[in-house]
Copies of this chain bind each other. A is one copy, B any other.
Amino acid sequence: MTKPDDSVFLKLSPKVQDMYKKLSDFVEFECIPAEHLYHQQLAPMGHPDRWNIVPPVIEQLKTRAKEIGVWNCFLPPTYGKYSPGLTNLEYAVLCELMGRSHLAPEATNCGAPDTGNMEVFAKYGNQAQKDKWLVPLMNGSIRSAFAMTEPAVASSDATNIETSIVRDEKNKQYVINGRKWWISGAGDPRCKVYLVMGKTDFGAKKHLQQSVVIVPAGTPGVTIVRPMMVFGYDDAAHGHMEMLFKDCRVPFENMVLGEGRGFEIVQGRLGPGRIHHCMRAIGLAERALELHILRITDPSRKPFGKMIAQHNPVPIVNSRLELDQARLLVLKAADKIDAAGPKAALKEIGMAKIVVPRMALAVFDRAIQAYGAAGVSQDTPLAYMYAMMRTLRIADGPDEVHERQVAMYELKKSAELRSRFEKQKDIEASLLAKL
């Protein structure tokens, strides 16, 4: 297994230590070595089967993950028998391991957006919805997508969404019209259901206009328009798709929770999702730093007569300093969720969401520079890591939105600070008066 930080590892329960070891070996010696095979098994970009073929290796990895007992680890203890019963802090440590390979989250059924969607069905779905969608999702037999972001509006502010969900009382159906993009996972042929966010009441209060409805894949009126590219990558078989909903109809029973509850659902979904992204990003950054160290200690590469490591150690030091600090912030956020719930941890989650992708991008960039031309190419995973991570400064709220939020929390303190400060000044004045 990879060598964990003792200060974290030794505090884990024996059960989680055991899961850690199994998961670590699974990631290092089953997932990472399968990454090239996965891309080979895909049809080439531009090929008509690009979005029809799922690389068989990923299903084999899923079978393996179930066997060794690292499946659905993200599920909180409230899920009963389906959940391994981990705290968020425990999951954070395992999730970091998963983040090291882009195959591991899916292989362990802990990948976005399925995790978030499972949480929506579990928390907000009725029994029929759970039976139909949650069970196969938890078994890993289908995948899902969450259709929220739209091209035409400032996506950093979710209240701007314009897709309409209109009641057709006669047919007892909702009629959906709108354009969505960056719908992750919607390119996968195993993706069988979309959770679609739209507005059921454009006249209601700002946060009560939105609703979430269930749209089965293949419903008439749904078109997968095109894959959105990230830098030059299409991220198949997963994909981040543009979708068009045109007079798409679903029965009334496909409403989740109730009309006007969409914003509430989205809020409940995003918090944990954000911190999971951060946990995985820590793992990916750690892997990139390892690759960086490998390169600068490569005895066959000696520009100007000495190993790169001897020229200037500052880049790896900076990566280590930033990485360890960011990890501690993520662990703290997870710990806070455990102690006081996700709402109480919103500030910590927001802070991690700002810090982690910046850190990871800097770590990747330094590694790229050390690898030279290989670093930007298909011969290392670094450029792909960079591209995917770059989206994380935008997705689930861009940096600027989280900065606003963190600032708000800080500025809230001002009244209490001012009262303390004025008390200090009074005492000071009385001291100086005695001079």
Footprint of B on A, CB under 8 Å? 2-3, 6-7, 10, 28-30, 32-37, 40-41, 44-47, 57, 149, 151-157, 160, 181-182, 228-234, 289-290, 293-294, 296-297, 300-304, 308-309, 311-314, 316-317, 320-321, 324-326, 328-329, 332, 335-336, 339-340, 351, 354-355, 368-369, 372-379, 383-384, 386-387, 390-391, 393-395, 398-401, 403-404, 406-407, 410-411, 413-414, 416-418, 420-421, 423-425, 427-428, 431-432, 435
Given A407-B313, A410-B316, A428-B37, the answer on whether A421 and B294 have CB atoms closer than 8 Å is yes
When chains A and B are docked, how far (Å) is the Cα of A35 from the Cα of B428? Answer: 8
B387 A231 Cβ-Cβ under 8 A: yes
How many copies make up the complex? 4
A403 B313 Cβ-Cβ under 8 A: yes
Given A40-B432, A325-B328, the answer on whether A297 and B372 have CB atoms closer than 8 Å is no
16 A-B pairs whose Cβ atoms sit less than 8 Å apart in the complex = A6-B340, A7-B335, A7-B336, A10-B339, A29-B427, A37-B431, A231-B376, A231-B383, A231-B386, A290-B413, A290-B421, A293-B417, A309-B411, A313-B406, A324-B351, A373-B391
Q: Which residues of B contact A435 (CB under 8 A)?
A: 37, 40-41
Q: Which residues of B contact A149 (CB under 8 A)?
A: 373
B294 A414 Cβ-Cβ under 8 A: yes
When chains A and B are docked, how far (Å) is the Cα of A7 from the Cα of B10? Answer: 20
Closest to A3 in B: B416
Partner of A376, one of B36, B40, B44, B391: B391
B377 A29 Cβ-Cβ under 8 A: no
Partner of A418, one of B28, B294, B393: B294
A230 B37 Cβ-Cβ under 8 A: no
Q: Which residues of B contact A302 (CB under 8 A)?
A: 154
Q: Which residues of B contact A421 (CB under 8 A)?
A: 290, 294
Closest to A31 in B: B424
B232 A151 Cβ-Cβ under 8 A: no
A33 B424 Cβ-Cβ under 8 A: yes
Output the least CB separation between A405 and chain B (Å): 9
Output the least CB separation between A327 and chain B (Å): 9
